[in-house]
Structure 1
């Protein structure tokens, strides 16, 4: 069956499309996007007093979309989903859909897929999914549930209940307290609207077992923190697609790495890894939460009005900011040398 990859119809019309057909269509658009560009996980802009700054967010989104990402994942981990209330979440997802609509390019298959983060327990995840669907999102990324460790049957039931409460296609994110066995993955892959799994554990033996057990239609994503570090290893077990936090503040670095990685240019990827990504990871590992805080600080260094992080995260101090600026300057210089 040939799938339609043109820009999707407005939300009201999309509601008339059967859920399984819609899931197949979105999965194909994501597959096309992953082959074409980096997946963008935008930061959420706050003002100096911590309020949502929607105008700044729209400007930031426009700059992100100008760099040609393969898909847009608003209000996820990098976007501080857990710090947003429902009204703010609605505004962020709506602005993201509007920005994607405005940037739609028929030459590359229409509008980018917009995949909104949802999470907490299944009941709250459904509430957020319904908001995202009303806002026009194409799919949802199911973030790990809150606090509790759970048996495999419970993890599967969590996904089933989310799927029963929304028509959105779902990508399930395993990290922290969520880790599926091969049998559990087969069970959630039978849910018609589950289209993918994002992995943040970086247990490549376990991940290989999952990719072998999964049906061919299921999408896999490398969701490791600073995923470029492990991109080659993930690709070796059948998972070449990855999310890039670096794209949130330095898309030229992320895109240069993506192009070199896609073309098998190991000299360029290794140089970027050695001189930029590894120093960035070493700085990130100094303080819990820096996986987001440093990204936001780096975006501010680039002149983006993204504002501070919200508690419980904290912004880096002067000493770490100085190191971050040096690492960023090195990365940008490397990109200039490659070009």
Structure 2
């Protein structure tokens, strides 16, 4: 098995994009949130992804967000910029824009809606990887895009020197384990309930929406596993599941639930804000997780 590499860190947050009350980009709030996430245990950030409402932010806003967060966290923290689109030419343009704005890597989702065959999926990723000098994290989320990056395709793509990682939302532990074992691709769980299972078979870490609200608690699961306390890791993981279920499996998108829980400004249409019942449930689950973990986790520096 090739040596494991973690090109973008281990505990990454798929960060929300804060907006003002009027719906404009709020770079100051984004910078503040990014600094808080790093202080609370995130060692990498993913901007302009699905949780960052990338379908409804302009190219200029994506650049402004990246520059604001880069300035806030400094040069030492990995920042991965979401540049995926259903259009290869636009994706390449976004990739070059992100490179110029200070990104350390690119998150590239499978082209969606058109449902290209595997040969076209592979060609798309290769074109993007060839367009800049940045390492690429492929985003495999067939539930949203309608198209899987098949394991055989990933095995071929792994041969490209700048295709370095996968954000895995395929819910295929067998396929993921095969690719992890046969390549040097750094796998990152993109579904919180899969963080520990994938980590146990060799994943590099996670890219998490829930980390917007519970970065220390999610990181503690991996820390316990790394320390050899697999029972403790499983127990901590179990504690995170109620909040994960409400944030990611309640019928509301993660951008909606994360912003509602953090009171981080509005979402953009077609998303709608969470109702009062949902907000109350999220806050109760978050409070319970924090209170339960308070005595189990070390005090943050």
- TM-score tier, shorter chain, comes to 0.7 to 0.9
Contact 1:83 1:310 in 2 (8 A): yes
State the aligned residue count. 290
User: What is the aligned counterpart of 1:198 among 153, 158, 167?
Assistant: 167
Aligned to 1:67: 40
1:142 is paired with a residue of what secondary structure?
strand
Aligned to 1:77: 50
* Mean CA deviation greater in 264-273 or 55-64: 264-273
Q: Give the TM-score normalised by the residue count of structure 1.
A: 0.79
What runs of 5+ residues in structure 1 fail to find an aligned partner? 1-26, 105-110, 301-305
Cα offset, 1:46, TM superposition: 0.2
Cα offset, 1:29, TM superposition: 6.4
Cα offset, 1:276, TM superposition: 3.9
Segments of 4+ in structure 1 off by > 6 A? none
Asked if residue 189 in structure 1 is aligned to residue 152 in structure 2, the reply is: no
Asked if residue 144 in structure 1 is aligned to residue 113 in structure 2, the reply is: no
Aligned partners of 1:143, 1:196: CA distance in 2, in Å? Answer: 12
Aligned partners of 1:255, 1:211: CA distance in 2, in Å? Answer: 21
Aligned partners of 2:189, 2:90: CA distance in 1, in Å? Answer: 26
Asked if residue 30 in structure 1 is aligned to residue 7 in structure 2, the reply is: yes
1:282-306 Cα distance to aligned partner (Å, 9 max, x none): 56423242x2211121122xxxxx2
What runs of 5+ residues in structure 2 fail to find an aligned partner? none
1:242 is paired with a residue of what secondary structure?
strand
Cα offset, 1:267, TM superposition: 4.6
Cα offset, 1:89, TM superposition: 0.5
Distance 1:219 1:207, change over 3 A: same
1:234-293 Cα distance to aligned partner (Å, 9 max, x none): 13432251122222122232233332233243454444444442354156423242x221
Contact 1:48 1:307 in 2 (8 A): yes
Give the superposed CA RMSD. Answer: 2.2
Distance 1:205 1:296, change over 3 A: same
Aligned to 1:311: 269
User: What is the aligned counterpart of 2:120 among 147, 154, 162?
Assistant: 154
Aligned to 1:320: 278
Distance 1:264 1:202, change over 3 A: farther
